[in-house]
Structure formats: structure tokens, C-alpha cells
Amino acid sequence: MQSFLQMRRIRRDVASLCSDNEKLQAVQPTLQDDSDESVRPLPHDDVDINILSCARRLEKEPINNSDDEVFVVGWDGPDDPSNPKNFSMTVKIGTTLIVALIAFVVGAASATDAAVLKQSSEEFHVSDVVGSFSTGAYLNGYAFGAVLAAPFSETLGRNIIYSSTMVLFMCFIMGSALAPNIGGQIVLRFFAGFFGSTPLVCAGGSIADLWDQMGKTYAFPLYGVTGFGGPVMGPVIASYIGTEMNTWRWAEWINLFMATLALIIILAFMPETFGPLILKWKAEDIRAVTGDSRYKAELEITHRKFSTRMKVALTRPFVMAAEPIIILMALYMTVIYIVLFTFLDGFTFIFDEVYDIGQGLTNVCFLGLFIGMLLPSFLIYPVYKITAKDLAKVHSEGRRDLDPEVRLWFGMLGGSISIPVSLLWMGWTDFASVSIWSPLLASALFGYGVLCIFITVYMYVIDSYEIYAASALTLVTFMRYSVAGGMTIAGIPFYRNMGPHWTLTILGCISALLVPLPYVFYFWGRKIRAFSKHAAVKV
């Protein structure tokens, strides 16, 4: 609906522009006129054209048509209301929250099955380890779906990808609710994860579409708090379904209801934010009004076939696997996700078996993690002030863009150290003789660290790799979810054989090795990026 209204507004603006005699001036700048911001080269080597003028400067008199001439449609100045970065603050915050809602819904679906694992395993007559394959398959579906999400969204736009994948996600969630056997459920859950992976990669692009450098400082944490809460709140949502309703299937039906609500909100309120697609709409309207086929958007003249973009999208992430920034950041997120998703099984051993609080209340204990994830909100203002000061320094040096290292503050302000501390705290106070509030508070500290590192990794990777950010995030996403999917299956025997004390100790020690990473990149990140083939060095 919002995309349709956008198209109508653009059509109305173009018609108004074409009827305004003052704006119908014959403008024919040359490529050498650097002072004219409307004249700009295309960033693609495979385009051989002569750019005469931005389409916002319409010709009063027709000029000789030529196959090697084209008017490139651009924004109508820095304040063009069609530009997503000029949307009102209400629209930008609302759109960011809608993207976060999508992430919340598909994230919650990844974890609700774990809350009713006992009931589903009993119905299908399989062990808990086999039953946990449904969660592992969903996460592996995430990993493979994320590889394809970015190129589709950069060709067809954000909205069509969010809405279409949500419909397909709902179909497979419904199938999972009706699955007659464990094999069918595992397959259906894999494809639900595959189509639910869209916000994992596209969300970063949507936020970049809307917000400038300073705006991302508070917009991305806003997305993170809401979106990352899905896997943590999933068990809470399904906490008493297995015990009160004596069935696991209602966990999937609740996922379907939430997805339906999200789809309605997407269709009713979410505008298109992908700038090149909006300019394509504008170019189509100008051609319709003027009858001049030379007006084209950059997206229409790059001459790169979709198959070519797919080939690049599928290969570049793995070509970039040798990048030290990506390797270490992906490793960090992978370790965090191993801990987070093994908690889906491990909380039974940590809380239920030690404190004998029952299946339902054990899943409610995930609220401790979620409360901890709210705590980084208090860091937004001080980090914003630090970022503003850094931006002023950058401008004073004659540079334009922030150094990516400023994005590491969330990780440095206790985010990295809190993860091993919380795991060791939880592991060695998990005794019936110690109050249950001790491991609960430890889980809140873990939630704080998880979100801080999530914000740090995503923002640092996006700013470090710029035009290659989608490929970098694709690799980070693929690694963490493929490994986490496997570890979810191994989580039950790991906790059962090692016990929660030593399991959490091992995970805490592994995460302790990664504590210095934000500090290392803060002090030496610029030098590391200088040796990278794909990372940007700000000038």
C-alpha cells in the first residue's frame, strides 16, 4: 500500500515538474562541469554512455536523439522528499521498527520449537536429540537463505522481498504445524528458515537506505533490541503451550499468527526504501510524461544481468573469507550464537533440573536474557556524543566519512568482557543451594553482552566494507547460523554428558579469547583495512 502511494506521489511530482515553465529550461551541461552536482559518472565500467543532464533538469527544446545519449534520473536536489533519507522522522523510525518486527517474528520462530521439544519428541516417538533437528534445520535454512536475499532485494527492491518471503515463510510454518512425522517437520522447518532469513541481510540495507551516519548510531540499536529479541522471546511465547495445551503444534500456529500480523503491517505501512528502485519509478514516469525514452535510472542502464549479480553474490562472500576483519567478526558472532542457541536446550539443565521449576517456568527464564538486551539502550546517548565528536574531528581534517572504528564503542563499553563473565558466573552458581536469581542475573549480563557485540559487529562490518557490506554480512550470517544449527543438535548431549558447570566454563573460556577484538580493531583497524582488498580506508 505504501509503495503504491509512493509511486502515485512520484507520478504527481513529475507531472507538476513537467508543467512548470520555469523548470523547463534548456540545460545541456558537459561532463567537465564538475560544479554541477547533477552530472555524475556511473560507478560501472560496462556502461558506455554520454551523460548530458540529470533528469530533474528537463529539456525545453528536444535535442537530437542518439543511442549514446541518456539523461540519468537523479534526486531533485538534496531535499527531494522521494529520497528515503529525507523521509520524516516518524516514517523512518516506524519503518525501522517494522524491519525489526520482521526480524523478531522469524527469530521467535527459530526458538519456539525448543520450548515444546518434549511434547513433539513424544508425539513423533523420537529422542530429544532427533527432535532438536527441527531447530537445527531452521537455522541452517537461515544460513542458505541469507546468501540469496541480498541480490534479490538489490534488484526487485526491499518491500517485495520482505512481503513475498513472509508469505512463503507462513506457508512453510503452516506446513510444519500440520507435519505428520518428524521428517516432514524437519524439511518444512528448513524452508521456513530459508524464507525467513530476509531480515538477516536486508535489514542492514534498509537501515542504510533511511539513516545517515549519525542516525545509524541510534537507529541500529533500535533495530537490534527489537529484532534480536526474537530468539530469546520465542521460548517465553511458547512457554506453557506444551504443558497447558498438551500439544506442540500451537507453537507453530502462534508463529503463523505473528507472521500474519507482520505481513499486514508490511503491506499497509512499510514504504519502499531502496533508492535505485524509486529512481526507476521516477524515470518511468518522466518517459511517460515527456515521451522521451532517453530518461533512464541508473538501475536500468548498468547492463548487468540478474544472473551476473547472482553469480557475484554467491561467490564474493566466500572470496572475502580471507579478510581478517570478516573472519574474526564472524567467529565472534558464531561463538555467541553457539551459546545462545544451545541455551534453548541448556536452560532445561541449568534451571529445571537444578531448581525443579518445571518446563513452563524454565522457558520464562529466557526473560532474563531479554531484559539484559534492553540495557545497551542506556549506551545510545553517550555513544552518540562520542560519534558526534569524532565526526566533527573528521570534518576538521577535511574528510567526509566517519572512521568505522567509532562503531566499536558498544563492544568496548563492557560488551565483550560481560560474555565470559556471565557464562562463568552462571555456570558456577548453578546449584540448588544458591538462589535462582544468581544464574538469572548472569543471563541478563549475557544478554547485555550479546546485543552490544551484535551492534558492534554489524555496524563495523557495514562501515568497513561499504559497497561490499552485503557480501561481508552474508558470510558472517552464513557462518554463524550454519554452525549454530549444528551445535543446537549437539547441545543436549553436551549439557547432559559434561553438565552445565563445565559446559558453560568451556564456552566462557572460548569467548574470553575474543574479548580483546573490539580494542584491537579500535587501535589498529585502520592499518588492517589498509591491507584489505575489499575494505574501505576513509579519506
Concatenated DSSP letters for 220-231? HHHHHHHHTHHH
- Please choose, from the candidates 302, 335, 320, 305, the residue with its C-alpha nearest in 3D space to the C-alpha of residue 483: 335
User: Residue 203, class by beta-carbon neighbours within 10 Å (0-12 exposed, 13-18 middle, 19+ buried)?
Assistant: buried
| Domain identity same for 395 and 510 | yes
User: Does position 396 have pLDDT exceeding 60, yes or no?
Assistant: yes
Banded pLDDT at 4 (limits 50, 70, 90): low
Give the chain's domain count.
Answer: 2
Banded pLDDT at 50 (limits 50, 70, 90): very low
| Domain identity same for 158 and 242 | yes
| Domain identity same for 261 and 237 | yes
Q: Is 381 left (phi over 0), alpha (psi -120 to 50) or beta?
A: alpha
What's the rounded Cα separation, in Å, for the pair 368 and 517? Answer: 26
pLDDT value at position 465?
Answer: 84
Supply 438's cell numbers.
544468581
| Domain identity same for 278 and 266 | no
Ordered DSSP codes for 4-71: HHHHHHHHHHHHHHHH-TTT-------TT-TT-TT----S-TT---EEEEETTS--SS-----TTEEE
Domain extent at residue 339 = 88-270+310-530
Q: 168-224 pLDDT, tens per residue?
A: 999 999 999 999 999 999 999 999 999 999 888 788 888 888 998 899 999 999 898
Position 485 in a domain: yes
Banded pLDDT at 34 (limits 50, 70, 90): very low
Question: pTM of this prediction?
Answer: 0.86
| Domain identity same for 224 and 299 | no
| Domain identity same for 288 and 388 | no
| 172 close to 511: Cβ distance less than 8 angstroms | no
Position 182 in a domain: yes
Position 188 in a domain: yes
Position 122 in a domain: yes
β-bridge mates for residue 51, sequence order: 70
| Domain identity same for 149 and 75 | no
Position 539 in a domain: no
| 197 close to 145: Cβ distance less than 8 angstroms | yes
What's the rounded Cα separation, in Å, for the pair 447 and 336? Answer: 10
Burial 400-409 (b: 16+ CB within 10 A, else e): eebbbbbbbb
Average pLDDT of span 388-410: 89
Position 446 in a domain: yes
What's the rounded Cα separation, in Å, for the pair 519 and 133? Answer: 37
Q: 238-294 pLDDT, tens per residue?
A: 988 877 777 899 999 999 999 999 999 999 999 999 888 898 888 888 888 888 888
Q: Is 368 left (phi over 0), alpha (psi -120 to 50) or beta?
A: alpha
Residues 6+ apart with CB under 8 A from 539: 399
Write the CATH number for 433: 1.20.1250.20
